[in-house]
Structure 1
Amino acid sequence: MFKLSKSFISYCILMVINLGPLFSQSKSFAFEDVNIIPMNREVVLYNQRVIITNGKISKIEPVSVKITKNVDSVINAKGKYLIPGLAEMHYHLENNIQNEFKLLIANGVTAARNMAEYEGQDQIKIREEANTNKMLAPYYVTSGPYLKAENLQTVDDVIDVVENHKKRGYDFLKIADNLPKEIYLKLLEETTKYGIPVIGHGQRKLPLGYSLKMKSIAHIEEFMNIFSSEEKEDVKYLKEAAIKMKKSGVYVSPTLGIFEMIGRYADDDKFEILKKNDEIKYLPKKYAAYCMSDSIHYRTNSWFTAPESLIRLQNELEWQQRFTKILNNEKVPLLAGSDTYGLFLPGFSLHRELELIQESGLTPFETLKTATVNPAKYLERPLSGIIAEGKLADLVLLSKNPLEDIQNTKTIEGVMLKGKWLDRKALDLMLKEVEYTSKY
C-alpha cells in the first residue's frame, strides 16, 4: 500500500491552510494587559490595553479601565511587550519573493526597502502587489537598478537613466562608489528636478562633502575609504565629520552584519560553524549549496582568506563599530539594514544587525530606534514607527523586554501586519512552508 511521508502530509496541510489567508480575519483587536514600548520616549507603559480598529491604533488605556469598545478578538498579552514593527532598510531579493517576505514577517519586519532591481526582476510590480495586499508582504519601497560608472558614462546617460527612473516610478536611485565628479553632480541635478532621492555607496574618490549630498549612505564601510589612514585614527576629526554629517541631514546604514559575514565566510573554522546554522533550511537547496561551497568569492580570494586578512577584517569591523558610536553620539540618524545576501537570511539577519549596533555602544533604546523611529522619518511615514493612538497597527509582540537587551527582539509571540494578526502558530506555519518549498 502506498504510504505518504510525514513531510508531504505536513505540506498538504499547509497548502490547505494557505487556500485562505493566514491572517486573523477580525476587524478589531484588543491587546490585553500588555507592556507598551511606544518608542516616542524611553519608557515602558505597563499593564495597558491597546485597541486596534480597521488597521489603526484606536485606543490606548490602562487595563484597569473597563473596556467600552466592542472588539472581535482579545489577545492575552499579560507580561509581554509591544513594540512598533521593525523596518529592514537594506533588503535584496535573491530568491522566491513570497518566501522571503514570509521570513521577514516571521521576524517582525513590517516595512522593507529594496536596494536594487536585479536583471529579470520587476520591482515596481512587486511593490504594487505588496502595498495593495495582493500578497502577504511588509510595506515595500524600492530603488531602481544598481548604477555603476559604466552605466553613467556621459551626461546623456545620466539624463536617460533619471528619466527612466521617473517614468518607472522607483522610490530611489542607487549608485555605486566610483562615479566621476562631473557625472555625480549632474546626477544630483537631474534627480533634484524629479524629486528622486539618491542613495547607495559613498563617493570614495571625492571629499566627504560630496557624499553628504545623498539622502542616505548604505554602508559605514564607505567611510573607511573616504577618510585617509590618518583621519580614520583621529577621534577629533571623526567627531567633526559626524557633526558635518548631522548638519547635512544624511542617514547612514551601518550594515555591520554583512561585513561580519565576510570574515565568517573567509575563516575556515567560522565557515564550518556557519554552515551548521539551522536557518539555512529556509534557503533554496541549490542556492544554499553554492553559498556553502568553497567556490564563493570570499573563499577564493586571499584578500579575505589570508591570516593577515582575517585580522584586518576584524580590525575593520571594530573600527566601523567605533564610528557607529561616534555617529550616534552626534545624533546622525542611523538605519538598521542587513544587506541580505547568501547565508545572511532575510529577517533573521536584521536581528544580528541590531545586536552588532548595540555592541557598538548604543543603548537598547537607541538601537531599537534604528529599526523603528528613524526608518519612519526617513520614509516619511508619520503614522509609523511609534505606538500611539491614530498610528498604523504594524506591531510586534515580544515575550521579553528589548530595552533590557536588544536580543529580546527575537522573542516574537506574534506580529500585527497592516492591522491583521499573525500569532506564533501562524508564523511557525509560514516558516514550515518556506522550509518545505525550499527543498525543491
Structure 2
Amino acid sequence: MTTFLLRDIRIFTGEETIDEGYVHVHDGKIKSVGPISDAPLEPVKTYSKPGHTLLPGLIDCHIHADRADPEALPQALRFGVTTVCEMHNELENVQKLKKQTLEPDTASYKTAGQAATIENGWPIPVITAYDKSPETAAAIAKWPKLTDQSSVVEYLEWTKKEMQPDYIKLMHESGISMGREFSYPSVELQRTIITEAKKRGYLTVAHALSLRDTLDVLNAGIDGLTHTFCDQPPTQELIDAYKKNNAWVNPTLAAIGSLTTEGKELQRQFAHDPRIKGLINDDRVGNMCKCMGFCAENGKAEYAYEGVKKLREAGIDILCGSDSAGPAVGTAFGLSMHQELNVFVNKIGMSPAEALRSATSLVAKRFQFTDRGRLAEGLNADMLLVEGNPLEDIDATLNIRGVWRDGDLCSTYVEKLEAGVEPLLG
C-alpha cells in the first residue's frame, strides 16, 4: 500500500465539487480530502495536477465476464472503472475472477453469482443461439432450475455457501421486445425468490426488457431493474410501481442501442476515439462497432430514453452500468461506461454531475457498498484522475491520467502521472 498526496486539482467527491483541493491517501484509504488551504504539509510523494479533475472510481453496476474473461477486470480498470458488478456467472468462473482481483491492475469484483433461472428460461435461449458447444451445454445443465419454494430455498442456500453473492439476480424475459416467446417465471415464483432472498439479507435485482416484464418483477417486489424496456412508451402504472418499491433502474441505454441497432454510430465514435489507444485490443474495438440487433424489429431506443426521462422526473434513482460482456457485440468493458455517461447527458438530459453521481456514489448507496463510491475520509482510495473538467464536458472522462484501486496506481498510468511529481515535501 502506498501513501501520497494529490493537490491543486478539482475534486468531485461523488456528491459535491471542490474547485481547488487535495486528497491524502494512506495505506490504500483516503486519510483526508478538502480545499487546498487545508492540505497537509507532510513528507510524502506529492502530485500537483492543475487543470485536472479527480473523481471516485467508476462503478459499473452491470457486466458479464463470460468464461471468466481474463481481460474483463484489467480492461475495466484501465478505463477508470474500479469496481464491476457481475450479473450472472457459473461457480467456476466466479472463483477464477475473485482470485484474479488479488492481482495488480484489476478492478474490484462484486457478483450475483449464478442467477435464479428456470428450465429453458433466459439467458439460455440467447446463449444457445450462438454457442452450441458441448462445454456450454454441460454448464447450462448444472444451472438451478427453480420451480417452487423448496427449489428456491435450496438454490439460495447453495449460492450462499458456494458463491457468497453480493446480491441475487432474477431473470424475467418473455421475449416480447425481441418478437419471440421464451419460457419465463410466474410472478408468484419471482415473489418467492425475492421474499426468501430478503430473509437472508440480499438485495434483489432483475433482468426485464419489456414493459410487461418490468411491471411483473416490480409487482413481485424487486429492489432494482438491470435494464429499462424498449418495446413501448412508459405508463403511469410503471412510475407508480417503481415508487411503491422505492426501486431503482440501471437502464443500460448503450447496450439497448446495440439491441435495436440505433446506437451503432455512437458505438463507432467511442471505438475509434484516439484516446483509447493502448487501453483495448483491436478485436474488442471491432466488436464495439457491431450490433446485437435482437430488438431491431420490435424495440426503439427512443422508448427507452422516454422511459428513463419519465422515471427521472418522478425522482426514481438512475444507476450507471454498461451490460458489457465478451459475446455482447456493441459493448466493451470499461469503455461502454463512458458511452453510457454520454447518453445520460445528451439523450436523457442529466447534468454531467448527475451522470457522474449515477456511476459513483449513487451505485454505492443503492447496492449498499459502504467503503467506496465517494472521496471521503476512511473510504477506499478508488480514484480516477482526468485532464479537463468532466463536470462541464462529460466526454472529458476519457482524458484519463491516473486510476487507483485501493490506493494502488494502475501501471498503465505510471509514466503519465510521474511526469508531474514534485520533490518530497519537508
TM range (shorter): 0.7 to 0.9
Mark the CA change 1:180 to 1:398 in structure 2 (over 3 Å): closer, same or farther: same
Q: What SS does the aligned partner of 2:341 have?
A: helix
Q: What SS does the aligned partner of 2:66 have?
A: coil
Instruction: Determine which of 137, 147, 153 is the counterpart of 1:159.
Output: 153
Structure 2 residue 99 is the aligned partner of structure 1 residue 111 = no
- Work out whether residues 400 and 408 of structure 1, in 8 Å CA contact, stay in contact via their aligned partners in 2: yes
Mark the CA change 1:321 to 1:32 in structure 2 (over 3 Å): closer, same or farther: same
Q: Give the aligned partner of residue 262 of structure 1.
A: 259
Range with bigger deviation, 327-336 or 411-420: 327-336
Q: Give the aligned partner of residue 37 of structure 1.
A: 12
CA drift at 1:258: 0.6
Aligned-partner residue type, residue 251 of structure 1: W
Report which of the two structures shows the higher radius of gyration computed on alpha carbons.
Answer: 1
Tell me, in whole angstroms, the C-alpha distance in 2 between the residues paired with 1:85 and 1:401: 16
Using the size of structure 2 for normalisation, the TM-score is 0.76
Q: What SS does the aligned partner of 1:122 have?
A: helix
Instruction: Determine which of 141, 166, 179 is the counterpart of 1:171.
Output: 166
- Work out whether residues 154 and 183 of structure 1, in 8 Å CA contact, stay in contact via their aligned partners in 2: yes
Structure 2 residue 53 is the aligned partner of structure 1 residue 69 = no
Q: What SS does the aligned partner of 2:30 have?
A: strand
Bigger proportion of residues as helix? 1
Task: Structure 2: state its 5+ residue gaps.
Answer: 120-144, 173-183, 417-426
Aligned-partner residue type, residue 188 of structure 1: I
Number of equivalenced pairs: 372
Q: Give the aligned partner of residue 356 of structure 1.
A: 343
- Work out whether residues 251 and 335 of structure 1, in 8 Å CA contact, stay in contact via their aligned partners in 2: yes
Q: Give the aligned partner of residue 194 of structure 2.
A: 188
Using the size of structure 1 for normalisation, the TM-score is 0.74
- Work out whether residues 103 and 346 of structure 1, in 8 Å CA contact, stay in contact via their aligned partners in 2: yes
What percentage of residue pairs aligned between the two structures are identical? 23
Mark the CA change 1:58 to 1:353 in structure 2 (over 3 Å): closer, same or farther: same
Aligned-partner residue type, residue 353 of structure 1: E
Q: Give the aligned partner of residue 409 of structure 1.
A: 397
Tell me, in whole angstroms, the C-alpha distance in 1 between the residues paired with 2:303 and 2:387: 34
CA drift at 1:128: 5.1
- Work out whether residues 32 and 49 of structure 1, in 8 Å CA contact, stay in contact via their aligned partners in 2: yes
CA drift at 1:244: 4.1
Tell me, in whole angstroms, the C-alpha distance in 2 between the residues paired with 1:206 and 1:320: 14
- Work out whether residues 34 and 81 of structure 1, in 8 Å CA contact, stay in contact via their aligned partners in 2: yes
Q: Give the aligned partner of residue 308 of structure 2.
A: 324
Matches within 5 A, 1:101-250: 101-118=73-90, 121-127=92-98, 129-130=100-101, 133-150=102-119, 151-168=145-162, 169-177=164-172, 178-202=184-208, 208=215, 210-211=217-218, 213-221=221-229, 224=230, 232=233, 237-238=235-236, 241-250=238-247
Task: Structure 1: state its 5+ residue gaps.
Answer: 1-24, 429-440
- Work out whether residues 22 and 35 of structure 2, in 8 Å CA contact, stay in contact via their aligned partners in 1: yes
Aligned-partner residue type, residue 97 of structure 2: I
Q: Give the aligned partner of residue 419 of structure 2.
A: none
Range with bigger deviation, 345-354 or 192-201: 192-201
CA RMSD of aligned residues (A): 3.4
Deviations 1:260-299 (A, max 9, x none): 11344998x99999997887994585x8888989xx964x
Deviations 1:140-173 (A, max 9, x none): 1101223333122344332322221222222222
Q: What SS does the aligned partner of 2:356 have?
A: helix
